[in-house]
Every structure is written in C-alpha cells, then in structure tokens.
Amino acid sequence: MKTKITQMLGIQHPVFQGAMAWIADAGLAAAVSNAGGLGIIAAGAAPTEIVRDEIRKAKGLTDKPFAVNIMLLNPNADELAQLVIDEGVQVVTTGAGSPAKYMEQWKQAGIKVIPVIASTAYAKRMERMGADAVIAEGMESGGHIGDTTTMALLPQVIDTVSIPVIAAGGIADGRGLAAARLFGAEGVQCGTVFLSAKECNIAEQYKQMIYKAKDISTVVTGRASGHPVRSLKSPLSRELLKLEGHIETRTLEEIERITAGSLRKAVQDGNLQEGTFMSGQIAGLVKGDSDCSTIIEIMVQEAEAFLRNAPSLIG
Ligand code: TUI
C-alpha cells in the first residue's frame, strides 16, 4: 500500500509502531522496520546513554528507516534532541508536549519530524512550525491521552492541515487501516497490537492481560493530576480511581508515590498488584502472539481487500 507517508519515509507499508515507553526498544523497532513498517524506539524516561545504545543496536539490526520518539515530559529531552542529530536518525516523533524549541535544529539536520497531536489547534501549530506530518491520536489509545476520539479527531485534523496525517488510537487490524485510509489518513500508528508481537519483550503477565482484555477492560486514571493515562483495569488503577474520587494535597502525594515506577513494574516484573499496564481500548481485538511481519502483512492485506470491496458497500 503506497501513500504519501510511505513515499516520504521510504517505507513499504503505512504502518507505524507506537512508541511505548519502557517497551519499544531496538529489537521491536527493527522488527517492525524490517517488516516494511516504521519501527520507533521510545526514549521514554531513559537516560541518554541507554537511548544511544538502542539507536546503535537498531542500526545493526535493520538497514531500513526507523524513528526515535522523544517524550517531551522527559527531563532529558534537550540531550535526546541533540542525540538524534548526532546519531543521524532520519525520523523523529514527539509526544506529550511541544517540540517547538527543537524544530529548527532537527529540520536543519534533515530529520523528518512527526509530532503526535490530540487537537486541531495543535496540529495547525505543528504544521506552521515545519512538521513533515502529524500523528492524530485519539483517546482510545493507551498511555497518556487527549480528550477526543479518533473518529472525531481524524477528519477534523485532516481538514485543518495540508501535511500527511497518520491515525492513531483504536486501530489494530485491516479494518482500522482501511477506515483510516477512507478518512483520508496517509497511514496508521498502532501500539497495543504490537504488545502481542513475539519481538515485544515484556513480562508474560502483561501479554496475558492483553489477550484476556475485552472492550471495557481499560480505564483512564490521572485526570486529577493533569496527566490522563489509559491502562488495563488492575488493583493499582482501581486504587488510583478511588483516591482521585476525594482529592486532597495528601492524596496527590500518595498518587505520586504509588504511580512512580509502576510502568516499569508492569513491563519488566509483570507485577499484577503494583504495575500500570498501559493499553488501548482495542486490546479486546488482540489475540495470540504473532511476529511483527505477520501482524503488518495481515493488516495490510485485509485493508487492501476491504478497500477493493468498498464499491459493494454502496449496494
Ligand atoms: O505521549 C503519548 N503517550 C504516552 S507518553 C507516556 S509516558 C507518561 N507516563 C505517565 C504520565 C505521563 C506520561 C505514556 N503514553 N502520546 C502522545 C500524546 N501527546 N498524547 C497527547 C499528547 C500531547 C499532549 C499535550 C501532545 C501535545 C501536548 O501539548 C500541548 C501543548 O500545548 O503543549
């Protein structure tokens, strides 16, 4: 499937792998890039040296383009912004804030910059600032989210900007990719479905929770502290919702204490009691473990079949 984004980035399929902090390492990103999609290394809150090692590892594992995501809440963001230039990374995606202060240096270095946005106003700002494309992320997504659903956000962003728009949030199969293309998106970004990939190195307990998840298995916590995060229902997310119900200064401190490190506890330890198992609402569709190349091939083949069949939907 050729689109403006496959042409711009020199990739085979218009499928990005979401930048999941603590999860999306060189192994996962290279597997997705080797499968023809765009693999993305999530810098998350990792120290600069670790991210440098992951970038170098990915270069050894694939000769295809891959991206690095810089999460702008990261106190290391300034260093990471320079690191991607020094390492000759070709594509950078950003999340959880504004990449304004880095844009000029990245553009000068010839980097394609693709910010994640959750509103039309922000999409427009990014386009004016020189972004090459935007990822419109609906609140169906896992992790840190905005307020608008993919269904509502996507057409409005597409009508607002002229640069390519990638759809994210609630997409895990060929139907999602086909629908996004019909909306006018040039590609999709998927996180949750890649949690099930063989190349995704997370605790087995996390994978099992994704396989068992249903449509109503996720909740949003953190609205009280201004950083809403979608994750699977778990002892920790239930506790957080209870605390958020009657917020005081002491409660905010308690929330900070019990959430600090909770994503690592999920990803590395599979700690069912204290972990935050970030996941999108589409987890109910994700079954069994495949490799990245099977996930992408099936998604693209299904989407192409749906799109070829689209005239029959008119009746
Ligand atoms: O960034 C994400 N998803 C994430 S980041 C993350 S790590 C984290 N963990 C705990 C608390 C907070 C973060 C887990 N998942 N997605 C991209 C995204 N970006 N979603 C929403 C936004 C966003 C939000 C505000 C983009 C820009 C923005 O800035 C507005 C402004 O004007 O600066």
DSSP assignment of 149-213 equals -HHHHHHHHHHH-SS-EEEESS--SHHHHHHHHHHT-SEEEESHHHHTSTT----HHHHHHHHH-
pLDDT in tens, the chain (315 residues): 999 999 999 999 999 999 999 999 999 999 999 999 999 999 999 999 999 999 999 999 999 999 999 999 999 999 999 999 999 999 999 999 999 999 999 999 999 999 999 999 999 999 999 999 999 999 999 999 999 999 999 999 999 999 999 999 999 999 999 999 999 999 999 999 999 999 999 999 999 999 999 999 999 999 988 899 999 999 999 999 998 887 776 677 888 899 999 999 999 999 999 999 999 999 999 998 799 999 999 999 999 999 999 999 998
Of all atoms in ligand 1, which is nearest to the CA of residue 72?
Answer: 1
**Residue 265 corresponds to which tokens in the numbers above?**
């506890």
Bridge partner list, 144: 229
Determine the Cα–Cα distance for residues 59 and 43; give it in Å rounded to an integer: 16
Name the residue with the closest Cα to ligand 1, atom 24: 96
Q: Is the CB of 227 under 6 A from ligand 1?
A: yes
Burial label, 65 (beta-carbon count in 10 A; 0-12, 13-18, 19+): middle
- Does ligand 1 have an atom closer than 6 angstroms to the CB of 115? no
Which pLDDT value is given to residue 288?
Answer: 80
Q: Among 68, 144, 221, 277, which residue has the most ligand 1 atoms within 8 Å of its CB, making it the best to mutate?
A: 144
Phi then psi for 202, rounded to 5 degrees? -125, 165
- The verdict on the CB of residue 71 being under 6 Å from ligand 1 is yes
> Would you call 135 helix, strand, or coil by DSSP?
strand
Q: Distance between CA atoms of 19 and 26, rounded to whole angstroms?
A: 11
Task: Report residue 155 CA to chain centroid gap.
Answer: 19
Contact 228, 144 (CB under 8 A): yes
Residue among 71, 124, 264 to mutate when testing ligand 1 (max atoms within 8 A of CB): 71
Whether ligand 1 lies within 6 angstroms of the CB of 122 is answered as: yes
Entry pTM: 0.95
Does the C-beta of 73 come closer than 6 Å to ligand 1? yes
pLDDT at position 157, please? 98
